[in-house]
Chain A
Amino acid sequence: MIEVRNLTRSFEGRTVLREVSLEIRPGETLAIIGRSGSGKSVLLKHLIGLLSPDSGDVIVDGESLGSLAYSGLRRVRRKFGVLFQGGALFDSMTAEDNVAFPLRTLTDLTEREIRIRAAECLRVVELPDVGPRRPAELSGGMQKRVALARAIAAGPSYLLYDEPTSGLDPDTSLTIDDLIQRLDDELGVTSVVVSHDMHSVLRVADRVGFIHEGDLRWMGPVDELAGADDPVLSRFIRANEYQIG
């Protein structure tokens, strides 16, 4: 389980997250929604200690990230798989080597076992034939799927998605959403999805948290989103041209 306690973070005098507290329960998919620049991605980076809070703490499986030394932090990070907004594939490597990279770096598997596992992960994301291609030769959607294959390669307990469908056409977005749902079901992982795409959120999330100007304004089950009485959230939903019910 992940707990976020009173997390506050500022950049150059501007408060991006203000006293944010939430918990992410085992096995659930929590979506964090909000406008661009509202602090969603900053919150996500705090969950794996890529950013340190000004105050507050993040606790992963009982371990406070703030009190861990760098080696301890790296150990905790290995429980996570992260899909970054742009994929963040290593452009000097092929797709297969990207997927194999965490296995080569962090496990004692043989090269043969690594290749088998990498091929398996690429099959899971329905891209069994792109192994020899470099990221520059792949479309945006394919890059995200390869990045997802890399994220699940080492068998994480938590999957973090930073805007998984941004910049993708509706059809590819649907494919990514299906993948997120399938991975949640098949791998039993706990997921956090940061997104401003309401269609995607409604497809994949169990619970939703709404961040606006650094404040966590609303948190609840996805099916209660329609009845939320927060005017800012209602406006955000309307702006997404989403009609509930």
Chain B
Amino acid sequence: MVTALTAILDGPVRMLEGFGRYVLLLGRAFNLPRDLRPRLYLRHLVDQMVHIGVASVPIVALATAFSGGVAAVQALYQLQDPLYPLTLVGTFTQQAVMLELGTLVTAFVLTGRVGARIAAELGTMRVTEQIDALEAMGINSRSYLIVPRVVASVLMFPVLYVLASAVGMLAGAFVADSSQRLTASIYWSGARLFFREYDLVFGIVKSLVFGFIITSVACYKGYYARGGAEGVGQATTESTVVACVFILLADYVCAALFL
């Protein structure tokens, strides 16, 4: 009986323990040392912004172009009845892209491209004693490794979201125009019809949250990786899975709170 209860409770206890370690790690990382050299951190931050933001532009653009195109195709499919005005194709696509696809597709792409890379990078640094080497030099390894990555992600994700939304909308316009059922100008007038600035703000808030989740989870998993190449692989996989779950959860919470 006790054994069975222990087995049942083992999972939730481990999850709570993991969450506690995650919060403690971030707390210690963001408790910046007084002897911090801003120039060094700034350089590191700019490097990370390039890695996380600029280098992700092509894949984010590609993914959201297809998502925007699919949203337009589905709108066209659902609006076959002549009673519905075709301006709604633009409206539906705009709403889908700005409220959901722009953030969610970008988040999943970045989880694979950025989160996995960070988890593997820090995991390798852990198992090859590079993190120990930082600590042995008297450097706060948590602050040095985690803060620039998380801050860069939080700064760059909204930029990528705006870009993703623009590309998604453009792809929708191209699909609508190619369908021969409506022109691009009708599509754009529909897109403007129900556009609210609040939608953009909502998307930006979500992208800030997703950016934080992706990099902080990856940093946590990578920082505490153990056991050689296998451990690094496990940390990378866990980082991707956990980030995806938290993104979906945060997506729901944001929608429930702000819409």
- Encoded as 1 (CB less than 8 Å from any A CB) or 0, chain B from 119 to 130 comes to 000001100111
Give the size range of B's interface with the partner.
10 to 19
Contact B139 A90 (CB under 8 A): no
Known: A71-B33, A88-B128. A105 touches B133 (CB 8 A): no
Measured CB to CB, the closest approach of chain B to A231, in angstroms, equals 34
Cβ 8 A contact of A106, one of B124, B130, B139 = B139
Contact B137 A71 (CB under 8 A): no
Q: Which of A100-124 contact B (CB under 8 A)?
A: 101-102, 104-106
A90 CA / B128 CA spacing, docked (Å): 9
Contact B40 A50 (CB under 8 A): no
Q: Which of B158-212 contact A (CB under 8 A)?
A: none
Q: Which of B107-137 contact A (CB under 8 A)?
A: 124-125, 128-130, 132-133, 135-137
Chain A residues contacting B144 (CB-CB under 8 Å) are 105
Residue of A nearest to B39 (CB): A104
Contact A88 B137 (CB under 8 A): no
Q: Check if A176 is an interface residue, CB within 8 A of chain B.
A: no
A196 CA / B84 CA spacing, docked (Å): 82
Cβ 8 A contact of B132, one of A45, A70, A78, A105 = A45
Chain B residues contacting A199 (CB-CB under 8 Å) are none
Measured CB to CB, the closest approach of chain B to A84, in angstroms, equals 5
Contact A48 B136 (CB under 8 A): yes
A160 CA / B133 CA spacing, docked (Å): 12
Contact B129 A88 (CB under 8 A): yes
Q: Check if A17 is an interface residue, CB within 8 A of chain B.
A: no
Known: A71-B33, A71-B34. A154 touches B40 (CB 8 A): no
Contact B133 A78 (CB under 8 A): no
Residue of A nearest to B47 (CB): A92
Interface centre among B28, B34, B137, B139 (most CB of A within 10 A): B137
Q: List 19 A-B contacts (CB under 8 A).
A: A45-B132, A50-B132, A71-B33, A74-B140, A77-B136, A78-B137, A82-B136, A84-B133, A88-B129, A88-B130, A90-B125, A91-B124, A101-B137, A105-B37, A105-B40, A105-B144, A106-B137, A106-B138, A154-B137
